[in-house]
Structure 1
Amino acid sequence: MTDPTRRILLGRIHGAFGVRGELRVESFTDPETELFRYQPWTLRDAQGRERAMEGARGRPTPKGVVATLPGVEDRDGADALRGTEIWVARSALPPPSPDEFYWVDLEGLRVRNVEGIDFGTVAFVFSTGANDVLVVRDDARERMVPFVRPDYVREIDIDAGTILVDWDPDF
Structure 2
Amino acid sequence: MNAPDAGQRMTPERMIPMGRLHGAFGVRGEVKLESYADPQRAIARYLPWTLRDARGNERLCEGAKVREGGKGLIATLPGIEDRDAADALRGTEILVPRSALPPPAPGEYYWVDLEGLRVANLEGADFGVVSHLFDNGANLVLVARGERERMIPFVQPDFVRGVDFDAGLVTVDWDAEF
TM-score class normalised by the smaller sequence: over 0.9
Give 1:97's match in structure 2, choosing from 105, 129, 133.
105
Query: How far is the alpha carbon of 1:153 from its aligned partner?
Result: 0.3
Provide the aligned C-alpha RMSD in A.
1.1
Tell me how far apart the structure 2 counterparts of residues 4 and 29 of structure 1 sit (CA, whole Å): 18
Native 8 Å contact 1:39 1:92 kept in 2: no
Give 2:50's match in structure 1, choosing from 42, 49, 67.
42
**Structure 2 equivalent of residue 9 of structure 1:** 17
Query: How far is the alpha carbon of 1:151 from its aligned partner?
Result: 0.4
Secondary structure, counterpart of 1:34 in structure 2: helix
The amino acid across from 1:59 in the alignment is: R
Tell me how far apart the structure 2 counterparts of residues 153 and 49 of structure 1 sit (CA, whole Å): 37
**Structure 2 equivalent of residue 167 of structure 1:** 174
Give 1:148's match in structure 2, choosing from 144, 155, 165.
155
Moved over 3 A (4+): none
Query: How far is the alpha carbon of 1:40 from its aligned partner?
Result: 1.6
Tell me how far apart the structure 1 counterparts of residues 48 and 172 of structure 2 sit (CA, whole Å): 37
Which runs of no fewer than 5 residues in structure 1 stay unpaired?
none
**Structure 1 equivalent of residue 4 of structure 2:** none
Which runs of no fewer than 5 residues in structure 2 stay unpaired?
1-8
Instruction: Output one character per residue of 1:112-170: Cα deviation in whole Å (capped at 9) or x when no partner.
Output: 000111111000000011100000001x2000000000000001112221111000111
Tell me how far apart the structure 1 counterparts of residues 116 and 162 of structure 2 sit (CA, whole Å): 15
**Structure 2 equivalent of residue 28 of structure 1:** 36
Instruction: Output one character per residue of 1:36-93: Cα deviation in whole Å (capped at 9) or x when no partner.
Output: 1112211011111110111111122231111111111111221121111111100011
**Structure 1 equivalent of residue 69 of structure 2:** 61
Query: How far is the alpha carbon of 1:33 from its aligned partner?
Result: 0.9
Question: Between Structure 1 and Structure 2, how many residues are aligned?
Answer: 170
Tell me how far apart the structure 2 counterparts of residues 158 and 72 of structure 1 sit (CA, whole Å): 42
Give 1:75's match in structure 2, choosing from 75, 79, 83.
83
- TM-score (normalizing by structure 1): 0.95
The amino acid across from 2:85 in the alignment is: G
Tell me how far apart the structure 2 counterparts of residues 137 and 2 of structure 1 sit (CA, whole Å): 19
**% identical equivalent positions:** 64
Secondary structure, counterpart of 1:51 in structure 2: strand
